[in-house]
Amino acid sequence: MTEYNLYCDESCHLEHDDSDVMVLGALIIPKDKKQEITENILQIKARYGVKARTEVKWTKASMPKIDLYKDLLNCFFLDDDMRFRVLVAKKTRLNHEAWSQSHNDWYYKMYFTMLNRLFDSTNIYNVYVDIKDTHSAQRTEKLEEVLANSHYDFNHECIKKVQPIRSDEVQMMQITDVINGAVCRANRTTIPQPSGAKAEIIDYIRMKSKLRLTQSTTLGTRKFNIFVWEGRNA
């Protein structure tokens, strides 16, 4: 039995933003490697003169810091114990009224879809979700309940908790943020593809993962798993 921590974040989740996709991603690590990975990330940041509490984020990517971003990605790709699961949801076919749901309802349905395939009843999981709004605690509590019930884990012996956290307080969330941002940008079709540092980061992830980032992988793909959710008409 192994205990895992999952660090989850989203990109372009708002209903009326200018993005035609939403991305939800989870970095999965063995809990007993948390301190080692945290120290590795802090050492990488220190090499480039970045303070420990400064977040390395997709939105801040620039060419002067490109080697910092690549080293952060190498921290993930070179460690066989670290895995990533990402869901790319196409927003162009959403019809919330037809499914009697709000956008928030759909958002958490997608979170369920992204996470549900990751759980094995022989292990233990702690799920950490970036705080979205003032209702995050209530909604993650419901998400925990639905996930646990779907695995007949009524005593929460497998899915131990789903807890909102501040991303700036957890170093691993920065890997999630950068990968999410890159996958999201690679899948957006209503704007031109980026240039400069962001284009280089996307290409680097494609090279390291050997994936196009715009197509679903097989369900059993372990290191870098992608699911593209197309939606369906009512």
165 sits in which H/E element: strand 159-165
Which of 104, 157, 156, 110 lies closest to 132, judged by CA? 104
pLDDT tens for residues 75-129?
999 999 999 999 999 887 776 675 667 767 778 888 999 999 999 999 999 999 9
Q: Give pLDDT, residue 76.
A: 98
Under 8 Å CB-to-CB from 149, ≥6 apart: which residues?
A: none
Q: What is the pTM of this model?
A: 0.92
The structure tokens listed for 35 are 């301190």
Provide the pLDDT confidence category of residue 52 given band limits of 50, 70 and 90: very high
pLDDT tens for residues 153-208?
899 999 999 999 988 889 999 999 999 999 999 999 988 889 999 999 999 999 99
Provide the pLDDT confidence category of residue 234 given band limits of 50, 70 and 90: very low
pLDDT tens for residues 125-147?
999 998 866 556 777 888 899 99
Q: How far is CA 12 from CA 34, 96, 188, 210, in A?
A: 27, 17, 10, 24
